[in-house]
Amino acid sequence: MKVEQVAIRTSYFSIAGNALLALAKALAGFFGNSFALIADAIESLTDVFSSTLVLLGLRYASKPADDNHPYGHGRIEPLVTFAVVGFLIISATVIAYEAIQNIGTPHETPKAWTLIVLGVIILWKEASFQIVLRRSKTTNSSSLKADAWHHRSDAITSVAAFVGITFAIVMGEGYETADDWAALFATVIILYNAFRIFRPALGELMDENTYEELTDEVRQISMSVHDVEGTEKCFVRKVGLQYQIDLHIRVDGALTVKRGHDIAHEVKDTLKAKLPQLANVHIHVEPTWEG
């Protein structure tokens, strides 16, 4: 299965899971007197929209190169990631505002059964995080990685809610706002994760040189091609789910132009065969002269 198809199916998984959880949390929070659960539902609702955005972005990024976009449409990926970060910031702001409002408003202690709901949610969201993060690594998708951390943020807010509700139930009267404080604390974690998602996506958009492991692989594979005497410059940039390579190789300066051309094509074909994540490889041939 192509990486694009894997990424798109993973997005559908996120959308369906977040929609069901948003409904479950909202109902449990309303009937169980827990704002922390309602705050969780708000974040899951924003997750539905952000996952939908990721899906649309992945579909657009998978479009083939054309005359107007000779390098493909992959640059939409970090832009979608920025939008997902925006959703995280909005959800954190809404949760914080509502939590502060509730802290100053007397209300009932959350129901004990809400802890069971939260326990199931925590397990599901952590499993979702692991699944989506693994798929993001398989597909090299920054927007899927952002979606994965959205799942982890959701799990963290659920853990905070679990702790807050447990504290409110155990301590009893006077501690009804414990789960509101838990929701407020969770917003700090959400904002921290938003920064963790934003920073690498910005680097991707700015073509930062952060692919040392892939660069080493490209050099080693190139050196395995007959008549390649060495490598010089090697620039890597990520475009969507794939990478663009600019590589300088050194060959014997006494070889014919045709032979140098053939070597360059052999290096390119070898790299693309062994590293399927490469979209395009541009080879520049440098001559080596004895003496």
233 shares its domain with 184: no
End-to-end CA distance of the chain: 52
Note down the domain range covering 279.
Answer: 212-288
Q: Residue 16 is encoded by which pair of tokens?
A: 């369906």
90 shares its domain with 192: yes
pLDDT at 290: 64
157 shares its domain with 194: yes
Q: Residue 17 is encoded by which pair of tokens?
A: 């899971």
Contact in structure between 85 and 171 (CB atoms under 8 Å): no
Contact in structure between 99 and 184 (CB atoms under 8 Å): yes
Contact in structure between 204 and 244 (CB atoms under 8 Å): no
Give the burial string for 94-114 (b: 16+ CB within 10 Å, else e): bbbebbeebbeeeeebbbeeb
* Distance of alpha carbon 39 from alpha carbon 98, whole angstroms: 8
Sheet holding 242-252, edge to edge: 230-239, 242-252, 278-288
Please report, in tens digits, the pLDDT of each residue of the chain (291 residues total).
566 778 788 888 888 888 888 888 888 888 887 766 777 777 677 778 777 877 887 788 778 778 888 777 778 878 888 887 887 788 788 878 878 887 777 667 778 888 888 888 889 888 988 998 888 888 777 778 877 877 887 787 788 778 877 887 888 777 777 777 877 887 887 788 788 778 878 877 787 777 888 899 999 999 999 999 999 999 998 887 788 899 999 999 999 999 999 999 999 999 999 998 888 899 999 998 765
39 shares its domain with 119: yes
CATH code, domain carrying 281: 3.30.70.1350
What is the SS3 assignment for 238? strand
186 shares its domain with 234: no
167 shares its domain with 264: no
How does pLDDT run across 204-220, given as a tens digit for each residue?
A: 778 777 788 889 999 99
166 shares its domain with 277: no
CATH code, domain carrying 118: 1.20.1510.10
33 shares its domain with 74: yes
92 shares its domain with 236: no
51 shares its domain with 184: yes
Domain boundary among 186, 205, 224: 205
Domain boundary among 159, 177, 205: 205
Contact in structure between 162 and 168 (CB atoms under 8 Å): no
pLDDT at 107: 65
243 shares its domain with 156: no
What is the SS3 assignment for 180? helix
165 shares its domain with 252: no
Count of structural domains, the chain: 2
Domain boundary among 145, 178, 205: 205
